[in-house]
Structure 1
Amino acid sequence: MSSPYLCPNCKTNRTRFNIIEQLAKPVKLNPQTGDIVEELQQSNLDPFHVSYKGPNYRVQCGTCGLIEDEISFVKRAQINQSY
């Protein structure tokens, strides 16, 4: 988060953003009710449970509300650098 951002959607916002932290919690659900049956640990996932490999956080534009990975905002700022 030490790079300038520019919203790839509204293309005007460079200052107002929300950083959304993502915390993955592996669980097993009851297929009929949807209730959590068991909360799992990353170290003891069964062979059919894939661990979360997504980003730890995402960025939301504080102007238009777009939510994307940080790289989208950084790349748009790099393309539109003002000299």
Structure 2
Amino acid sequence: MNTEHSSPYLCPSCKTNKTRFNLIEQVVTPVKKNPQTGEIVEEYEDLSSQPMHMQYRGPDIRVQCAACGVIEEEISFIKRAEYNKSS
């Protein structure tokens, strides 16, 4: 997991929760699907051999506020806490 979890959080939506959160680990599984049935026809282990399949570049985790339920990238919660501390 990302090491930023040690930073203070503040929910960017409800702006009150500073203590209760759900950390959601994002596990990426690159797949190829049948366009008619939606069935997964292949799971890719090595994307370097798949020139038309872009690698996932999103966050490793997302954070959910356990008070209001909003889900955002971790940096949103960290930046809101930093902003609140300076104001």
TM-score by length of 1: 0.93
Deviates more, 1:38-47 or 1:16-25: 38-47
Query: Which residues of structure 2 form unaligned runs of 5+?
Result: none
Which structure has more helix as a fraction of its residues? 2
Moved over 2 A (4+): 42-45
Which digits, 9 at most, give the CA deviation of each residue in 1:17-56, with x for residues without a partner? 0000001100010111000001101444411100101111
Looking at structure 1, the residues matched to 22 and 56 of structure 2 have their Cα atoms a distance apart, in angstroms, of 22
Distance in 1, matches of 2:69 and 2:46, equals 32
Matched residue, 1:18: 22
Per the normalisation by structure 2, the TM-score is: 0.89
Matched, 1:48 2:46: no
- Separation in 2 of the partners of 1:4 and 1:17? 11
Q: Which whole-Å CA distance do the structure 1 matches of 2:30 and 2:17 have between them?
A: 35
Q: What is the RMSD computed on CA atoms of the aligned residues?
A: 1.6
Q: How does 1:22-41 map to 2 (within 5 A)?
A: 22-41=26-45
Give the share of equivalent positions with the same residue, in percent: 63
**Stretch of structure 1 that moved more, 38-47 or 62-71:** 38-47
Number of aligned residue pairs = 83
Map of 1:77 onto structure 2 = 81
